[in-house]
């Protein structure tokens, strides 16, 4: 629970008591310097039964505490959340313990907004809120009424019952995939001609990494099998790096037995040179033509090993995309396939956004408008969980 320097902080004491006494929550309180000007840590230590964290380096465990708090928490509730802390989070500023915890926790953070109505309606604040919402951060909107400055407007901290209900829902959602094993593929594969040259594609891996993060936040045990991407894996996700389609297939088959969900976002290269040279070819050594063959169909091979796993495939098609993608879904034994059209702006490879259509094996489909890949990942997983396995 993060406390910032807003007059509504006095309401947070009662909220903390309810969380601990009535809900049985294990709460660690982090207070900013400004928050301590409004209330002392003592009352929050009394209600939480734990020391309040106020400084980055004032206790015995200093080296990774700022990481551990955000990583280990199921939820980071910032209440009250001022315009200042929202701005810090939106721009990645981590200059005290709370802002650092928020940066580590990412979309596990829930902001209960409380500020003057002019601050709330300011276009800069609204832009910061929109940015964080697109990244998956949660918000409890303020209520309208008389404010501390005696102005009347939107900015009052939401009622305690509203905050408690939102916290309950967020925590229950975070447990939707507890006990499930999720296998995610990401990035491109490389099919080598010689030791330095290869055939590949423009995949960045961002969609697969977003899916892995979304599944982990829902409580799943996640293994991410990624081709070359240069991206860091999300916290608590096991990364298995590969390069070629054969290497990715080997890992998939090794993992097939215990996998509940396979989210196949990797752009597996379809073709590869038939002849692979064990050294870097000189210009004069290049053949006039390069014979190519097909790489294995990873989804088909996986399905032969495991008939029960729920498979979500991905399809990049620019012509007759819905029909072609639905046919792929059936032919490969997938339960769902997400079709995106690379000819449409902001979709498919390399970018931070995507949109398209999620198609179920039975033909039902859902339009998914252009949004951030993080938000899209959550939408895809939510739909799959709500709609169920198709085979």
Active-site positions read 149
The two structure tokens encoding residue 390: 């198709």
The two structure tokens encoding residue 80: 């009250």
CA distance 82 to 332: 50
HEC string for 108-164: HEEEEECCCHHHHHCHHHHHHHHHHHHCCCEEECCEEEECCCCCEEEEECCCHHHHH
The two structure tokens encoding residue 188: 């491109």
CA distance 293 to 313: 23
CA distance 43 to 204: 49
CA distance 70 to 329: 39
CA distance 146 to 95: 32
Radius of gyration of the chain, Cα coordinates, nearest whole angstrom: 24
The two structure tokens encoding residue 196: 């330095």
The two structure tokens encoding residue 288: 């006039």
Give residues with Cβ within 8 angstroms of 288, minimum separation 6.
Answer: none
């Amino acid at each position: 629970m993060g406390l910032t320097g807003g007059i509504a902080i006095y309401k947070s004491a009662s909220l903390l008591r309810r969380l601990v006494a009535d809900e049985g929550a294990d709460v660690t309180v982090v207070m900013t310097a400004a928050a301590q000007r409004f209330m002392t840590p003592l009352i929050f230590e009394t209600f939480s039964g734990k020391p309040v964290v106020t400084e980055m380096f004032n206790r015995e465990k200093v080296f990774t505490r700022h990481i551990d708090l955000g990583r280990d928490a199921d939820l980071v509730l910032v209440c009250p959340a001022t315009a200042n802390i929202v701005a810090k989070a939106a721009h990645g500023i981590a200059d005290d313990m709370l802002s650092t915890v928020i940066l580590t926790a990412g979309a596990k953070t829930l902001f209960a907004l409380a500020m003057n109505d002019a601050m709330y309606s300011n276009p800069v604040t609204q832009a910061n809120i929109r940015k964080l919402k697109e990244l998956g951060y949660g918000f409890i909107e303020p209520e309208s009424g008389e404010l501390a400055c005696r102005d009347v407007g939107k900015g009052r901290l939401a009622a305690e019952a509203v905050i408690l209900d939102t916290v309950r829902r967020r925590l229950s959602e975070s447990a939707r995939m507890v006990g499930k094993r999720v296998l995610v593929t990401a990035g491109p594969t490389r099919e080598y001609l010689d030791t330095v040259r290869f055939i590949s594609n423009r995949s960045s891996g961002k969609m697969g990494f977003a899916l892995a993060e979304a599944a982990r936040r829902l409580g799943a045990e996640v293994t991410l099998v990624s081709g070359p991407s240069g991206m860091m894996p999300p916290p608590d996700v096991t990364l298995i790096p590969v390069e070629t389609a054969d290497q990715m297939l080997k890992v998939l088959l090794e993992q097939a037995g215990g996998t509940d969900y396979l989210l196949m976002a990797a752009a597996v290269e379809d073709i590869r040179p038939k002849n692979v040279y064990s050294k870097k070819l000189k210009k004069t050594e290049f053949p006039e033509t390069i014979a190519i063959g097909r790489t294995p169909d990873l989804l088909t091979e996986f399905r032969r090993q495991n008939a029960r796993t729920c498979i979500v495939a991905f399809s990049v098609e620019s012509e007759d995309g819905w029909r072609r993608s639905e046919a792929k879904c059936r032919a490969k034994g997938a339960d769902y396939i997400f079709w995106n059209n690379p000819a449409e702006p902001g979709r498919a490879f390399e970018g931070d956004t995507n949109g398209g259509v999620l198609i179920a094996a039975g033909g039902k489909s859902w339009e998914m408008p252009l949004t951030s890949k993080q938000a899209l990942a959550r939408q895809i997983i939510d739909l799959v969980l709500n709609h169920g396995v198709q085979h």
